[in-house]
Amino acid sequence: MLVLASASPRRQELLRNAGIPFTAQPADINETPLANESPRDCAERLAREKALAISQKRPQNYVLGADTIVVVDDKILGKPRDAADADRMLRLLSGRTHKVVTGVCLVTPSMLVAPSMRSSESTLDGRGARTVSEITLVTMEKISDEEIRDYIATGEPMDKAGAYAIQGIASRWIPRIEGDYGNVVGLPVARVYAMLRERAAI
């Protein structure tokens, strides 16, 4: 059984749409970036911490952790703290191309971890953890002050990294992406599927 270490309805929907069976169990971790931590390192670390936190409780299961961040000018944009923070983020993204980085970690059940995996991969109590990340470039049109104000009023930006949802209202301002669309929503499904098949998890 695959356990998704996330409460994100978007990640759950992506897995369901791909026909990947799972159960969800959110991980409660501190998601604050570390000092001088690169965006990719941050996304991968948080994905790994989420997966390992749930793996401690579910050692008999495959556990999938993920974390998505938006990056502009080498600055990490997480979820906005409030409306003013959402306004700041949207102004930073308006009329520019930015990166979306999703870190993904798959932890293997302890009884299936081979000695070679223990020596070559991150482990926790003998459980192999494979961590990767995916990057997608997203181009956003110029957004007017009024559009930003109205968008924030819908509430859609408030629980999204970078204060927007590509699958929602914000799609009207995104004419082009380079890379995996699901990665921007919250999970690079093709990459995850390949990892699951590699580990014989499905």
Give the residue numbers marked as catalytic: 67
Which H helix or E strand runs over 107?
strand 97-107
Per DSSP, helices labelled H in 58-114 are 83-93
Q: How far apart are CA 178 and CA 18, in angstroms?
A: 21
Strand-strand pairing, 62-72 and 2-4: parallel
DSSP 8-state secondary structure symbol assigned to residue 105? E
Per DSSP, helices labelled H in 101-144 are 115-120
